[in-house]
Amino acid sequence: MLNFGTIGTSSITTKFIDASKKGNNLKLTSVYSRDEGKAKEFADKFGAEYIFTDLEEMAKSSLIDAIYIASPNSMHYEQAKLFLKNKKHVICEKPIFSNSAELEEIFQVAEENGVFILEAIRNIHSPNFKKLKENISKAGAVRSANLHYVKYSSRYDLFLEGEVPNIFNPSFSGGALVDLGVYPIFLAAGLFGEPKEIFYYPVLLSNGIDGSGTLVLVYEGFVCTILCSKIAQSYAPNEIHGENGTFILDYAAPITSIEFIEHHFMNKENLTVDQNENDMVYEIEEITGIIENNNQVKYAELKDLSRLVLKITETARKKSGIVFDADQK
């Protein structure tokens, strides 16, 4: 079992901690917040014995073996580097970093210090994604795919009132593509690999960040279209269309329903697997298994997947003129 600490006190951190308590892989010992009162309140709520208001002190502490980072996107790089240099494993919430340069440097830092860094991206570790991947050949040659994560954000209301929440701020590496688009992008990358061409058509807000957008991934023989938005809401399913049949998924994350419809006889097959409502339990199992078993093969596979997804989002951003502060360092 790995003792771990957390950076971030948002709902995603709460969900990660809840998931960690459902298994025997992680034990929460410490939480960090710049605000001591908030740190104590969060620690008391989840049974963490120790609090930190200084990241350097936390990174050097023997109370943790690993850190879960769920701070604003632009902060991941410096925080991850600090903990890796202090020989702590890092589980970093998606999107892992702002750009590929940061990612490659951090992979090198992890290797130099004999520790792991892994991206926390829940949908690709779930039983339903694995079921989909095992059965994707049923569709025959894939001819198109329509994936999406379109969810109206309450923080957009704040933006309209004149505030700039982190997730809509280029200084914090925000925007719809990197916040929500990464989920269907991971599905596409995990199923289809690297696209031949990448195009992104964003709806830009007044500060130049994408409130929504359409990503087009061009593969040999088909196109995968990905919609992402934090300023609208979709109720449509996701679909993968092949010459022999179509897969219908309820959501890009979490995938809780999979149906395959065979074209010729209109046979319907329910491929859904029962899974934990908190699907972060599966990423925890996968990540901690890699760390505890020193599974370099699986680690390399997930590193390459993170590389590919970040290459897609960075290419899409640059082609459409979306620039983060982190890109200019």
| 8 A C-beta contact, residue 215 and residue 131 | no
| 117-120/222-229 β-pairing | unpaired
Given this model, what pLDDT does residue 77 score? 99
Domains of the chain in sequence order? 2-120 (3.40.50.720), 124-281+310-328 (3.30.360.10)
| Alpha helices for the chain (secondary structure H) | 11-20, 36-46, 55-60, 76-85, 100-112, 127-135, 154-160, 176, 182-192, 280-293, 296-319
- In the structure encoding, which two tokens stand for residue 154, read together? 């309450």
pTM: 0.97
Q: Which string of b and e fits 19-48 if b means at least 16 CB within 10 Å? A: bbeeeebbebbbbbbeeeeebeebbeebeb
Give the pLDDT of residue 6.
Answer: 99
Asked if 239 and 146 count as a contact pair (C-beta separation under 8 A), the reply is: yes
Half-sphere exposure of 94 (CA within 13 A, CB side): 28
Q: How far apart are CA 171 and CA 258, in angstroms?
A: 38
- Strands 197-204, 142-150: pairing is unpaired
Beta-carbon contacts of residue 132 (< 8 Å; ≥ 6 apart): 191, 247, 249, 255, 258, 271
| 109: helix, strand or coil | helix
Q: Residue 329 has what pLDDT?
A: 82
3-class secondary structure, 169: coil
Q: Mind listing the pLDDT tens digit of every residue in the chain (329 residues)?
A: 999 999 999 999 999 999 999 999 999 999 999 999 999 999 999 999 999 999 999 999 999 999 999 999 999 999 999 999 999 999 999 999 999 999 999 999 999 999 999 999 999 999 999 999 999 999 999 999 999 999 999 999 999 999 999 999 999 999 999 999 999 999 999 999 999 999 999 999 999 999 999 999 999 999 999 999 999 999 999 999 999 999 999 999 999 999 999 999 999 999 999 999 999 999 999 999 999 999 999 999 999 999 999 999 999 999 999 999 999 98
